[in-house]
Structure 1
Amino acid sequence: MELTTVWFGLIAVLWAGYFLLEGFDFGVGILLPVLGRDDRERRLLINTIGPVWDGNEVWLIVAGGATFAAFPEWYATLFSGFYLPLLLILVALIIRGVAFEYRGKRGDLRWKRGWDAAIVAGSVVPAILWGVAFGNIVRGVRLDASHEYVGGFFELLNPYALLGGLTTLGLFVLHGAVFLALKTDGPMRERAGSLAARLAVPVIVVAAGFLLWTVLAHPSLSGAILALAAAVALVAGALTIRVRREGWAFVATALTIVLAVAALFVTLFPDVMPSSISTANSLTTANAASTPYTLRVMTWVAVVFTPLVLAYQGWTYWVFRKRLTVERIPV
């Protein structure tokens, strides 16, 4: 197997890991005013992701760095053509991180509500725009012969991409609700489980519509199989959360996200950024890649350090695995 294919697969794994982990982070942030009826309950919700949210964002940094090193042409075209939406995502993530750190610096209720609103906004914006961005990558954008994006910002807000944004938003909110049902106990656990059960049906409808559109517009047997598997996992998550099997429901929603990302990348391959003007203008794993020497060095670095990073993050989740209750939150 060529190293360009290996690194395309590794980048897909990094994005799948990011959406899997940061997905429930975003979901918790969005649900903060929905499930948190008072300040103690909102602090409880924040504490469920407090030890891990910043570690989850490392997956985004590594995915971006791997793309820059393995496929510099892809990185350059992506970040220049999608400059405004990616800037909005970056600003939202910065505001969200600042809000987590500064919310508890003062006891004033208005102060906390302002930062709560920042957490919600900083979670909603990336949850939508990541779906819009990947929807456009799969759909294809206006690239000229120099691989430069020649379209406008509003061309990125097409129906398919917007449906992709709505899909990622719905999946992340559902994933977050299931995570809260798994991570908390008492009344919060019941409310989160009930909300997840109610959210499941509309999320299934939206996600199924997006995956079906993807399969029909970009026929691929492997992509269709992965999309079907993602749909089955999502239905399984809906059924298991209804009977309060939070652990299995979380596994199911996690599989849904991973399989959906895999379906998009398999559908995209061997392109990394298709051109809607001419297929000759498309960026592929061949014409966007770094030199073979660079890819070989990166591969050895990944072989050594990836298991260490995964082991450390797994240990972090194991240490903070216990359920939380509002009674443990100081008044």
Structure 2
Amino acid sequence: MELHNIWFVLIAVLWIGYFFLEGFDFGVGVLTKLLARDRAERRVLINTIGPVWDGNEVWLLTAGGATFAAFPDWYATLFSGFYLPLLLILVCLILRGVAFEYRSKRSEDAWQTRWEHIIFWTSLLPAFLWGVAFANIVRGVKIGADKEYAGNFFDLLNPFALLGGLVTLTLFTFHGAVFSALKTVGDIRERARKLATTLGLITAVLALVFLIWTQVDKGDGKSLVAMIIAVVALLAALGANMAGREGWSFTFSGVTIAAAVAMLFLALFPDVMPSSLNPEWSLTVDNASSTPYTLKIMTWCAGIATPIVLLYQGWTYWVFRKRIGVQHIAPEAAAATDSADAGAR
């Protein structure tokens, strides 16, 4: 296999890792409004992802950096054509990180409520916009003979892309609900499981329509296999969740995300960004890649650094593997929460 094909696969793996990991913490951020009943429960949900959310974003940085180095034309066209949605995602990620850090700095109700609203919206919007972006990439956008994006922002808001956004939003929220059930104890765990069932059913309907649409429009035999795996895994995740097997449910929801993203990349290959104006103007793994020497250096660097990153992240998840509940919040934090809630009443 040629190096540019290998790097197409590696970039797909990086996006799979990012959506698997960031997907559940986006979902947990959305659930701070949908699942949590009071500030103490919101604190519990935030604490489930507190040690890992920033590490999950490393996968995005790596995917972006790998695309820039391995396929510079793809990177340039993507970031110029999708400038507004990608800028909005970036702003959301910045504000989200600030919100996690600043929320607990003061106990006033207005202060914490403001940051909690920011956590919710900066989790919901990227979860939706990533689906819109990737659906457009697979569907094809207006790329001219000069490899420049020739459309506008509203061209990206087509029915296929909007459906893709709804799929990623519901799938990530379902993934987050299963993760919340896996990481919590008590009443919030039971409610997370019930909400996960509802979200899973909605996701199954939306995902089935989107994946079939993608398969009919762009797919082949390999993408069909990935689609079948995604659908079966989603149904298995639902079944495991209803049986109270949160660990298996989380595993299967992760497989769903991995298979769905793999299907999109399989449907895309050998293009990296198809042109809807003229297929001959599409960016491919051949005409958008860096030189073989650059790809060779990147391969050596990736081979050395990737195992270190994986070991470190695996160790982090192992250290913070235990379940938590309202009773595990420190007394001083609970007192500040009670005071804020009393002030609100």
TM-score interval, smaller chain: over 0.9
Tell me the distance in 1 between the aligned counterparts of 2:285 and 2:306: 22
Letter in 2 for 1:120: F
The equivalent residue for 2:232 is: 232
SS of 1:323's equivalent in the other structure is coil
For residue 200 of structure 1, report the CA deviation from its aligned partner: 1.3
CA-to-partner distance for each residue in 1:87-120, whole Å, 9 max, x for gaps?
A: 0000111111110010001100111111000001
The equivalent residue for 1:21 is: 21
**Identity among equivalent pairs (%):** 62
User: Is 1:250 matched with 2:268?
Assistant: no
SS of 1:143's equivalent in the other structure is coil
The equivalent residue for 1:293 is: 293
The equivalent residue for 1:100 is: 100
Runs of 5+ in structure 1 lacking a partner?
Answer: none
Please tell me whether the aligned partners of residues 193 and 241 of structure 2 are also in contact (alpha carbons under 8 angstroms): yes
Please tell me whether the aligned partners of residues 28 and 45 of structure 2 are also in contact (alpha carbons under 8 angstroms): yes
Tell me the distance in 2 between the aligned counterparts of 1:140 and 1:89: 21
The equivalent residue for 2:141 is: 141
After TM superposition, the structure 1 = structure 2 runs for residues 109-258 of structure 1, keeping only pairs within 5 Å, are 109-258=109-258
What is the alpha-carbon root mean square deviation over aligned residues? 0.6
The equivalent residue for 1:281 is: 281
Letter in 1 for 2:53: W
CA-to-partner distance for each residue in 1:273-299, whole Å, 9 max, x for gaps?
A: 000000110000000000000000000
The equivalent residue for 1:84 is: 84
Tell me the distance in 1 between the aligned counterparts of 2:258 and 2:199: 19
The equivalent residue for 1:260 is: 260
For residue 323 of structure 1, report the CA deviation from its aligned partner: 0.5
Please tell me whether the aligned partners of residues 41 and 326 of structure 2 are also in contact (alpha carbons under 8 angstroms): yes
For residue 219 of structure 1, report the CA deviation from its aligned partner: 3.0
Tell me the distance in 2 between the aligned counterparts of 1:287 and 1:50: 42
Runs of 5+ in structure 2 lacking a partner?
Answer: 335-345
Number of matched pairs = 331
Tell me the distance in 1 between the aligned counterparts of 2:33 and 2:50: 17
The equivalent residue for 1:50 is: 50
Tell me the distance in 2 between the aligned counterparts of 1:84 and 1:259: 28
Tell me the distance in 2 between the aligned counterparts of 1:102 and 1:264: 37
The equivalent residue for 2:325 is: 325
Tell me the distance in 2 between the aligned counterparts of 1:199 and 1:127: 15
The equivalent residue for 2:32 is: 32
User: Is 1:307 matched with 2:296?
Assistant: no
Letter in 1 for 2:153: F
For residue 248 of structure 1, report the CA deviation from its aligned partner: 0.3
Tell me the distance in 2 between the aligned counterparts of 1:170 and 1:322: 26
The equivalent residue for 2:342 is: none
Letter in 1 for 2:191: R
Letter in 1 for 2:78: L
- Choose 164-173 or 38-47, whichever is displaced more: 38-47
The equivalent residue for 2:6 is: 6
SS of 2:107's equivalent in the other structure is coil
Tell me the distance in 2 between the aligned counterparts of 1:11 and 1:243: 35
SS of 2:161's equivalent in the other structure is helix
- Choose 215-224 or 170-179, whichever is displaced more: 215-224
Tell me the distance in 1 between the aligned counterparts of 2:321 and 2:59: 20
Please tell me whether the aligned partners of residues 127 and 169 of structure 2 are also in contact (alpha carbons under 8 angstroms): yes
Tell me the distance in 1 between the aligned counterparts of 2:228 and 2:310: 28
The equivalent residue for 2:343 is: none
Letter in 1 for 2:80: S
CA-to-partner distance for each residue in 1:216-252, whole Å, 9 max, x for gaps?
A: 1113110011011100000100111001100000000
Tell me the distance in 1 between the aligned counterparts of 2:105 and 2:91: 21
Tell me the distance in 2 between the aligned counterparts of 1:328 and 1:311: 28
SS of 1:31's equivalent in the other structure is helix
CA-to-partner distance for each residue in 1:63-87, whole Å, 9 max, x for gaps?
A: 0000000000000000000000000
Letter in 2 for 1:297: I
Please tell me whether the aligned partners of residues 23 and 175 of structure 2 are also in contact (alpha carbons under 8 angstroms): yes
The equivalent residue for 2:339 is: none
- Choose 215-224 or 172-181, whichever is displaced more: 215-224
Tell me the distance in 1 between the aligned counterparts of 2:194 and 2:201: 12
